[in-house]
């Protein structure tokens, strides 16, 4: 009977303690690590903090770790909210029950586990998730639940390399405080504290203390630890997150020099033997530096005349200045000479200016020679280190005189008829032509007669010269030349104009000089009058008064019926045909030459008898006819 009473009393005690444990577990669930909604961040790799130094235990001796027990109504161990335990603090072992009570306690444990599972399923939405076998297992999707629950995530090295920002990304950072300038040497010591002995089924607290023994603050401090084999996690202070490797992770933020921070892990030993884990600390050391960013600015200014005469030199005055706030380094001037200007060194020139401090300038001079007329654009470039660049373009007009000559006059002329020609010289260029000379060279078939405007003829080279001191742009000078054609044939008048700066232009004017055959003839009777039966002679003289030979000169003499031709003679053979005398054609009768034809005739009847003489040449369109009268009388 006494033994039965003791068992009932023990069972009642166990039931009461189990109810107390369930109540405390529900209150402490908010401090346990959540299962989901924990952020994941990348953290820096762990730094070598050196050998940890022992950390003195807190002076608060009233803080003690509570003894973990199992309730008959739930399997969640209670979490201690104490700030820590010193070296003298130890987990108090639970009282060992007699062997015959152990069965009842184990049955109560199984009942408590089933009851706790029913309690978890009945929790309202929004409450902290109940404690499970792996309370730190994170779901596939992780979201932020609040600043206090943030954590850091360490990606693998290849993942870090794959998220490098693209080149050219513009930054947003600002210089840090002055205290971050210079060498920064934070130093952390880490020490882990654990109870000397714990009992299976009773909670134990492991503490990790991190202290900054350096001279500057350590930022981004992160502590990582693992759940020891043979133990089950009850809770952490402060709340931990799960790292990518399954470790417990605490982000402690910044620890100032001399400061320290502590994390606690509450475990429930579940197997006999030695338990433990290795805690690691990672942190960042911040260092700042600042510099003054300057912005040099290159400016080019070029002064030069906007017009230059061809063949003359053009001087460019170049000024390169730095209007920015810093030194322009490695300044080089580039000159790209356009077509129309020349320099002995070539068309692409460079000049090393060197470094140009802010607010300073350099002046240079570049001399070029104008080689071709027309508008052109010069390009000058200044460049320097750091993609400094400035350009200067300016327009230049290369002006030059030009000559254009013309000759107007007859292109066909007959011999011995004067021909007047108008010679002109025009300047269509952009500058005045100076010391202009106009020369007309006469062929042998033209004889110089005269010229106006002080034209001077030189017999040696058969040339007529005119000179003008200046011929302004757009103006024309005109002179006259009088010639006499003296030789038939194709002739050429050659005209040449020259001026300073190597100007020269030539033209030729062809002239066809022809002669004209001017045939004149006379008819006269030698004896007049004559008696019937008496003969008389007619003389016909043919003269070429022209300047051209007459060809195929043909002559015919026609007598009236009262007369009859008896004989004839001349430069060609003839034929007597009744009352007609026909002379064969004379192939050529030279200019100024003459020939005489003679014909004898007898008078047959009295009267005023008339003969007709017809002359025809190849140059004539029709025959020319002349008559001669002879008086024939009778003695009766």
Residue 568 is part of which domain span? 519-633
pLDDT confidence of residue 10 = 67
Query: Using CA atoms, how far apart are residues 236 and 33, in angstroms rounded to an integer?
Result: 7
Question: Which residue, chain included where needed, has tokens 């077509």?
Answer: 339
On the question of pLDDT at 22 being above 90, the answer is no
Query: Using CA atoms, how far apart are residues 386 and 323, in angstroms rounded to an integer?
Result: 15
pLDDT tens for residues 140-155? 332 333 333 333 444 4
Answer yes or no: do 349 and 437 share one domain.
no
Q: How many CB atoms lie within 10 A of CB 255?
A: 22
Q: How far is CA 48 from the centre of its chain?
A: 53
Answer yes or no: do 461 and 566 share one domain.
no
- Is residue 146 included in any domain, yes or no? no
* Three-state SS at 29: helix
Q: How far is CA 375 from the centre of its chain?
A: 24
- Is residue 139 included in any domain, yes or no? no
* Total number of domains constituting the chain: 4
On the question of pLDDT at 81 being above 90, the answer is no
- Is residue 189 included in any domain, yes or no? yes
pLDDT confidence of residue 505 = 95
Answer yes or no: do 500 and 534 share one domain.
no
On the question of pLDDT at 17 being above 90, the answer is no
- Is residue 174 included in any domain, yes or no? no
Question: Which residue, chain included where needed, has tokens 């600015």?
Answer: 297
- Is residue 293 included in any domain, yes or no? no
Answer yes or no: do 427 and 366 share one domain.
no
On the question of pLDDT at 553 being above 80, the answer is yes
Answer yes or no: do 227 and 356 share one domain.
no
Give per-residue burial for 42-57: e unless 16+ CB within 10 Å, then b: ebeeebebeebeebeb
- Is residue 21 included in any domain, yes or no? yes
Between CA 618 and CA 628, with CA 623 as vertex, the angle to 5 degrees is 135
Q: Are 101 and 211 in contact (CB under 8 A)?
A: no
On the question of pLDDT at 437 being above 80, the answer is yes
Cβ contacts of 162 within 8 Å, gap of 6 or more: none
Query: Using CA atoms, how far apart are residues 543 and 551, in angstroms rounded to an integer?
Result: 13
Cβ contacts of 471 within 8 Å, gap of 6 or more: 401, 403, 425, 427, 432, 433, 434, 436, 477, 499
User: What tokens does 449 get?
Assistant: 């007669």
Helix (H) or strand (E) holding 382: strand 374-384
Instruction: From 260, 285, 310, give the residue that closes a domain.
Output: 285
Answer yes or no: do 101 and 49 share one domain.
yes
Instruction: From 396, 415, 448, give the residue that closes a domain.
Output: 396
Q: Report the CATH number at residue 105.
A: 2.60.40.290
Q: What's the average model confidence in pLDDT over 609-616?
A: 93
Q: Any idea which of 90-104, 458-472, 589-603 has the lowest mean pLDDT?
A: 90-104
Q: Are 540 and 555 in contact (CB under 8 A)?
A: yes
Cβ contacts of 631 within 8 Å, gap of 6 or more: 528, 529, 530, 607, 608, 609
Answer yes or no: do 523 and 473 share one domain.
no
Confidence band (pLDDT; 50, 70, 90) for 183?
confident
Q: Which of 93-102, 123-132, 328-337 has the highest mean pLDDT?
A: 328-337
Answer yes or no: do 92 and 212 share one domain.
yes
CA distances (Å), origin 280, targets 191, 204, 221, 283, 628: 10, 20, 10, 10, 158
On the question of pLDDT at 78 being above 50, the answer is no
More confident residue, 187 or 438: 438
pLDDT confidence of residue 170 = 76
pTM of the model: 0.48
Q: Report the CATH number at residue 380.
A: 2.60.40.10
On the question of pLDDT at 117 being above 80, the answer is no
Question: Which residue, chain included where needed, has tokens 């606690």?
Answer: 264
DSSP 34: P
The 3-state secondary structure of 229-269 reads CCEEEEEEECCCEECCCCCEEEEEEEECCCCEEEEEEEEEE
pLDDT tens for residues 560-601? 999 999 999 999 999 998 899 999 999 999 988 999 999 999
Strand partners, 563: 603
- Average pLDDT value for the chain: 78
Task: Give the residue among 308, 226, 211 at the shortest CA–CA distance from 258.
Answer: 211
Q: Report the CATH number at residue 489.
A: 2.60.40.740
pLDDT confidence of residue 522 = 93
Q: What's the average model confidence in pLDDT over 288-313?
A: 91
Between CA 347 and CA 354, with CA 352 as vertex, the angle to 5 degrees is 160
Answer yes or no: do 604 and 586 share one domain.
yes
The 3-state secondary structure of 309-359 reads ECCCEEEEEEEEEECCCCCEEEEEEEEECCCCEECCCCCEEEEEEEEECCC
Cβ contacts of 511 within 8 Å, gap of 6 or more: 409, 410, 411, 412, 413, 419, 443, 445, 446, 485, 490, 491, 492, 493
Query: Using CA atoms, how far apart are residues 311 and 369, in angstroms rounded to an integer?
Result: 6
pLDDT tens for residues 128-182? 333 233 333 333 332 333 333 333 444 444 444 444 566 666 777 788 778 778 8
pLDDT confidence of residue 58 = 37
Answer yes or no: do 11 and 30 share one domain.
yes
CA distances (Å), origin 512, targets 100, 492, 561, 619: 158, 8, 50, 18
Confidence band (pLDDT; 50, 70, 90) for 4?
low
Q: What's the average model confidence in pLDDT over 5-29?
A: 61
Q: What's the average model confidence in pLDDT over 263-288?
A: 88
Between CA 401 and CA 407, with CA 406 as vertex, the angle to 5 degrees is 155
More confident residue, 566 or 59: 566
Largest Cα–Cα separation, the chain: 231
Confidence band (pLDDT; 50, 70, 90) for 218?
confident
Written as one string, the DSSP assignment of 427-459 is --SSS-EEEEEEEEEPPTTEEEEEESTT-EEET
pLDDT tens for residues 492-540? 999 999 999 889 999 999 999 888 888 889 999 999 899 998 999 999 9
- Is residue 568 included in any domain, yes or no? yes
Peptide bond into 480 cis (omega under 30): no
pLDDT confidence of residue 482 = 95
Q: What are phi and psi of 204, to 5 degrees?
A: -135, 150
pLDDT tens for residues 379-404? 999 999 999 999 999 899 999 999 99
Query: Using CA atoms, how far apart are residues 538 and 134, in angstroms rounded to an integer?
Result: 164
Answer yes or no: do 89 and 217 share one domain.
yes
- Is residue 245 included in any domain, yes or no? yes
On the question of pLDDT at 233 being above 90, the answer is yes
Cβ contacts of 49 within 8 Å, gap of 6 or more: 187, 188, 189, 190, 281, 283
The gap between the terminal CA atoms of the chain, to the nearest Å, is: 231
On the question of pLDDT at 289 being above 80, the answer is yes
Answer yes or no: do 450 and 362 share one domain.
no
Instruction: From 262, 285, 308, give the residue that closes a domain.
Output: 285
């Amino acid at each position: 009977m006494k033994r039965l009473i003791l068992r009932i009393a023990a069972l009642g005690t166990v039931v009461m303690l189990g109810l107390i444990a369930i109540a405390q577990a529900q209150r402490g669930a908010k401090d346990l690590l959540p299962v989901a909604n924990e952020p994941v961040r990348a953290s820096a790799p762990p730094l070598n903090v050196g050998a940890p130094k022992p950390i003195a235990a807190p002076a608060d001796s009233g803080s003690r770790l509570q003894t973990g027990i199992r309730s008959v109504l739930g399997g969640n161990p209670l979490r201690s909210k104490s700030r820590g335990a010193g070296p003298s603090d130890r987990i108090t072992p639970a009282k060992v029950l007699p062997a015959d009570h152990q069965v009842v306690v184990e049955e109560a444990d199984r009942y408590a586990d089933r009851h706790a599972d029913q309690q978890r399923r009945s929790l309202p939405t929004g409450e902290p998730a109940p404690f499970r076998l792996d309370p730190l297992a994170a779901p596939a999707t992780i979201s932020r639940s609040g600043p206090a629950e943030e954590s850091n995530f360490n990606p693998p090295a290849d993942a870090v390399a794959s998220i490098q920002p693209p080149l050219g990304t513009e930054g947003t950072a600002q210089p840090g405080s002055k205290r971050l300038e210079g060498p920064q040497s934070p130093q952390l010591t880490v020490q882990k504290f654990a109870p000397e002995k714990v009992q299976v089924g009773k909670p134990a607290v492991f503490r990790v203390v991190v202290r900054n023994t350096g001279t500057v603050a350590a930022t981004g401090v992160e502590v990582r630890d693992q759940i020891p084999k043979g133990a089950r996690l009850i809770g952490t202070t402060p709340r931990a997150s799960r790292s990518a490797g399954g470790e417990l992770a605490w982000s402690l933020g910044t620890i100032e020099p001399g400061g320290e921070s502590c994390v606690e892990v509450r475990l429930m030993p579940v197997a006999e033997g030695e338990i433990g884990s290795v805690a690691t600390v990672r942190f960042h050391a911040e260092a700042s530096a600042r510099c003054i960013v300057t912005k040099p600015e290159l400016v080019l200014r070029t002064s030069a005349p906007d017009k230059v005469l061809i063949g003359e030199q053009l001087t460019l005055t170049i000024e390169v200045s730095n209007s920015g706030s810093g030194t322009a380094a490695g300044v080089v001037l580039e000159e790209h000479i356009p077509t129309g200007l020349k320099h002995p060194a070539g068309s692409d020139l460079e000049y090393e200016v060197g470094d140009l401090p802010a607010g300073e300038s350099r002046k240079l001079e570049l001399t070029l020679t104008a080689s071709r007329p027309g508008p052109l654009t010069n390009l000058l470039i200044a460049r320097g280190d750091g993609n400094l660049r400035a350009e200067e373009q300016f327009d230049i007009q290369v002006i030059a005189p030009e000559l254009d000559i013309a000759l107007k006059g007859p292109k066909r002329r007959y011999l011995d008829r004067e021909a007047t020609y108008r010679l002109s010289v025009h300047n269509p260029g952009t500058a005045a032509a100076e010391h202009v000379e106009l020369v007309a060279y006469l062929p042998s078939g033209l004889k110089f007669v005269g010229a106006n405007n002080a034209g001077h003829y030189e017999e040696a080279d058969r040339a007529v010269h005119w000179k003008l001191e200046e011929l302004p742009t757009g103006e024309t000078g005109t002179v006259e030349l009088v010639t006499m054609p003296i030789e038939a044939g194709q002739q050429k008048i050659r005209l040449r104009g020259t001026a300073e700066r190597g100007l020269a232009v030539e033209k030729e004017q062809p002239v066809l000089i022809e002669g004209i055959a001017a045939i004149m003839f006379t008819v006269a009777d030698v004896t007049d009058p004559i008696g019937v039966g008496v003969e008389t002679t007619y003389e016909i003289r043919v003269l070429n008064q022209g300047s051209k030979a007459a060809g195929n000169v043909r002559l015919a003499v026609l007598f009236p019926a009262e007369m009859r031709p008896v004989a004839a003679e001349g430069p060609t053979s003839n034929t007597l045909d009744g009352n007609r005398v026909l002379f064969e054609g004379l192939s050529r009768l030279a200019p100024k030459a003459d020939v005489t034809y003679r014909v004898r005739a007898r008078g047959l009847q009295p009267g005023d008898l008339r003969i007709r003489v017809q002359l025809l040449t190849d140059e004539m369109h029709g025959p020319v006819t002349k008559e001669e009268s002879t008086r024939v009388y009778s003695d009766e």
